[in-house]
Amino acid sequence: MKEGWWINYRTGMTVCIGIFGDHEMWLREPGNAAKLGVPGEVIARFDGFTPGQERLHFLTFVMESASVMRVRGHGHYVTFEYWAKNDRDALRAIRRFTTGKLGPAMGMNVVNLRCIREGIVA
């Protein structure tokens, strides 16, 4: 697996952005963020981030402000990144997403960005 995905872990909506799709640019395309379930008040703040230059700040802002996670396949492993106070919904979404998609030798890198920022060790 090498595709990129967005998952709304509250609604279960999953969107494939393709092998060469960029998570930031996909969200900035008109209608995409709303389709994913990002609230209008969050979308209204997109222009406060310079595309490309502030990519990581932008993506972190969106994940912190909406119940969405980004996913990227790296061939033999998949990375899931999200921001949540409670991991339950995000981990359920990861389980639903991986069922039938990942083989037994596939690795997973699951990152709750909140834990990194706040220095929380699991």
pTM above 0.85, yes or no: yes
Q: Which domain holds residue 107?
A: 4-118
Model confidence band, residue 44 (pLDDT cutoffs 50, 70, 90): very high
As for how many domains the chain has, the answer is 1
Question: What is the rounded distance in angstroms from the CA atom of residue 74 to the CA atom of residue 61?
Answer: 24
DSSP state of 59: H
* Alpha carbon distance 45, 85 (integer Å): 22
At residue 114, the 3 state secondary structure works out as helix
Lowest mean pLDDT among 54-58, 70-74, 113-117: 113-117
Are 109 and 79 within 8 A, CB to CB?
yes
